[in-house]
């Protein structure tokens, strides 16, 4: 039988080889039933309430049963329990029963459809996966309504688990020591399932679409978690190749884990801070595991938008307090809400914007919704009492926006003082440099803030006037374009002359090949995905800064990207043959 190749989404790196076990999909029956009498409506509302309570008990029990290796994920169930009380699920479903006079299952299914419509136009992966949380919670409620609960499931031998979809509550019930790898029809790299798989060290591929219906129990398979591949019925040469890859990856993990806590300074003694970009409390463990020296970017979108409503100050404060305490003295740069464009679903009423990516987003949205902005600033300030917190404003284009944001911050401080609520006396404020206007006026903006953080993803997109999600033009998304390199150097120089910190937190910062050139351009603080940090620190320790400053000077005077690529490849191979000699 020829090998069948399935391409999905790389969710957790590593290689798994073994037999497949297909976990049956639980599909609760959704029947339509019209209600004729008031007592029927009351009965269906009571059924809904019982199902909500039973689901809450189920999540609480799953939380209590968590293996110690998953303790950092207990807050997932706290978030799920909060969703059970959220108006999107509870109130809307109850209202549908009352108004449309339908049974609870049908009303809950309508709620799911409405939620799906809210998220339909979103392309941002982080926000898109929050809809999956709603799906997971509704799925468990539906199971209790239909009394079709999860069956007992025991794996007889270590196997690759194949399933249509898997919620965190389902994962807790499984003996994870028997799972070699995970393959799902649904999901993506930022789903909770993917994050848990990474924490457990399980290779995982998600978004395979039809793998659960194509695979059979006992089929041999290979998962390549880094490439997002599943090979069904592989040949012996393929098995041999991936066995070698499996050993190589295991050795690589051992190496980077051993290197994680080593310092990050150049050969000529310049200290480089290597930090993490995270968005969930569950990722704090990875910051420590992989030797992070800070959290250079804490995205607040997940903790805010997972409620499908504006969160309260207390909810935001509790999340940020846990962040500060969990970092054990490491600093965290908290970015205020960066919504807008395709990130408005479930949070606020959407206006009709012809081009939302150039509309009301980032700091513009926060200034417009001042009451929410003040609540978030109060929450951040209160959390600063428990650890080292900095505040960063996104999508800033002018000094006027910074001044207004700082006025709001002062208003938040004054209100906390009136209530005698504690917060740190000195909380640094900074901005994301991701709009060309901000980069051009960086020397002026530097007078207003304590630090800059360069968001290369949007900066490249806006500078090059391209949408990187557009297949027609995404090839023009070039981090090594001379204009981008010049912007980086210009902003670094403005920050240095003003005596303020300068960090880079976009995807470019997490590419080890770019690290020497970035340092040469004047950036000495980088933040990235936690697992990449040891590799970047390893590169930093082999950098002669003076040498790479000269390379950077040459690079910014080249005409074409391929010339910069060739220059970079030559010097990487020449200076770091053990790391890049194979290029």
Residues annotated as part of the active site: 192, 505
Between CA 31 and CA 553 the distance in angstroms is: 68
Beta strands across the sheet bearing 229-232: 4-7, 229-232, 220-224, 15-23, 159-163, 179-184, 204-206, 9-12
Nearest Cα to Cα of residue 306 among 346, 340, 333, 278 = 346
* Cβ neighbours, 10 Å, residue 444: 14
535, two tokens: 């590799």
Confirm if 178 and 158 have CB atoms less than 8 A apart. Answer: yes
Other Cβ atoms closer than 10 A to 572: 23
Q: Give residues with Cβ within 8 angstroms of 359, minimum separation 6.
A: 340, 341, 353
Tokens linked to 253: 């993990």
Helices (H) and strands (E) in the chain, counts: 24, 16
Tokens, residue 128: 């898109």
Q: Which two tokens stand for residue 74?
A: 């207990």
Q: What secondary structure does DSSP assign to 276-292, as a single string?
A: EEE-SGGGHHHHHHTT-
Cα 367 from Cα 536, distance rounded (Å):
36
- Continuous segment of H or E residues that includes residue 10: strand 9-12
As a whole number of angstroms, the longest Cα–Cα distance in the chain is: 82
**What is the distance between the alpha carbons of residues 315 and 304, in angstroms, rounded to a whole number?**
9
Which SS3 state, helix, strand or coil, does residue 423 take? coil
Pick from 479, 456, 475: which is nearest to 466 by CA? 475
Give the DSSP letter of residue 355: S
Q: Kindly report the number of other CB atoms within 10 A of residue 465's CB atom.
A: 9
- Helices marked H in 168-260: 168-173, 192-200, 211-214, 236-259
Inter-residue contact 449 to 500 (CB < 8 Å): yes
Contact 62, 255 (CB under 8 A): no
Beta bridge partners of 548: none
Alpha helices in 428-558 (DSSP H): 436-440, 442-445, 456-464, 482-498, 515-520, 533-540, 545-555
């Amino acid at each position: 039988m020829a090998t069948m190749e399935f391409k999905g989404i790389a969710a957790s790196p590593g290689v798994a080889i073994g037999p497949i076990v297909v976990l049956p999909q639980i599909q609760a029956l959704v029947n339509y039933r019209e209600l004729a009498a008031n007592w029927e409506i009351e009965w269906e509302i009571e059924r809904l309430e019982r199902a909500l309570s039973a689901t809450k008990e189920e999540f609480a029990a799953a939380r209590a049963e968590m293996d110690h290796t998953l303790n950092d994920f207990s807050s997932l169930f706290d978030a799920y329990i909060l969703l059970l009380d959220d108006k999107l699920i509870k109130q809307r479903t109850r209202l549908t029963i009352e108004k449309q006079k339908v049974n609870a299952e049908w009303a809950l299914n309508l709620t799911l459809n409405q939620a799906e419509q809210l998220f339909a136009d979103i392309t941002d992966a982080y926000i898109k996966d929050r809809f999956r949380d709603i799906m997971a919670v509704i799925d468990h409620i539906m199971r209790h309504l239909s009394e079709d609960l999860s069956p007992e499931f025991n794996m007889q031998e270590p196997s690759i688990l194949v399933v249509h979809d898997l919620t965190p509550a389902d994962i807790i019930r499984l003996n994870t020591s028997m799972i070699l790898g995970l393959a799902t029809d649904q999901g993506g790299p930022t789903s909770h399932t993917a994050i848990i798989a990474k924490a457990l060290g399980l290779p995982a591929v998600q978004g395979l679409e039809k793998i659960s219906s194509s695979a059979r129990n006992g089929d041999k398979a290979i998962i390549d978690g880094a490439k997002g591949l599943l090979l069904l019925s592989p040949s012996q040469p393929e098995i041999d190749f991936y066995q070698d890859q499996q050993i190589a990856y295991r050795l690589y993990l051992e190496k980077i884990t051993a290197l994680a806590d080593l310092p990050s300074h150049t050969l000529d003694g310049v200290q480089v801070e290597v930090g993490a970009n995270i968005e969930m409390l569950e990722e704090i463990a990875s910051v420590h595991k992989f030797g992070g020296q800070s959290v250079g970017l804490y995205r607040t979108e997940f903790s805010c938008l997972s409620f499908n409503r504006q969160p309260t100050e207390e909810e935001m404060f509790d999340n940020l307090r846990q962040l500060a305490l969990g970092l054990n003295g490491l600093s965290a740069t908290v970015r205020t809400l960066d919504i807008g464009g395709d990130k408005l679903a479930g949070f606020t009423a959407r206006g009709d914007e012809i081009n939302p990516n150039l509309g009301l987003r980032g700091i513009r949205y926060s200034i417009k919704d001042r009451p929410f902005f003040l609540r978030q600033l109060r929450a951040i300030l209160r959390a600063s009492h428990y650890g080292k917190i900095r505040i960063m404003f996104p999508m800033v284009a002018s000094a006027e926006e910074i001044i207004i944001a700082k006025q709001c911050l002062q208003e938040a401080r004054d209100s906390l003082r009136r209530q005698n609520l504690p917060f740190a006396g000195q909380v640094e404020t900074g901005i994301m440099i991701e709009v060309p206007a901000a980069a051009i006026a960086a020397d002026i903006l530097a007078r207003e803030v304590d630090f800059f953080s360069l968001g290369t993803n949007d900066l490249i997109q806006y500078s090059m006037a391209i949408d990187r999600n557009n297949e027609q033009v995404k090839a023009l998304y070039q981090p090594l374009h001379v204009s981008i390199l010049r912007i980086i150097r210009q902003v670094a120089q403005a920050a240095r002359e003003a005596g303020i910190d300068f960090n880079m937190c976009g995807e470019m910062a997490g590419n080890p090949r770019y690290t020497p050139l970035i340092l040469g351009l004047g950036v000495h603080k980088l933040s990235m995905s936690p697992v990449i940090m040891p590799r970047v620190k390893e590169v930093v320790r082999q950098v002669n800064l003076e040498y790479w400053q000269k390379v950077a000077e040459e690079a910014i005077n080249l005409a074409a990207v391929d010339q910069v690529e060739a220059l970079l490849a030559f010097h990487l191979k020449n200076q770091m043959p053990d790391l890049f000699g194979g290029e």
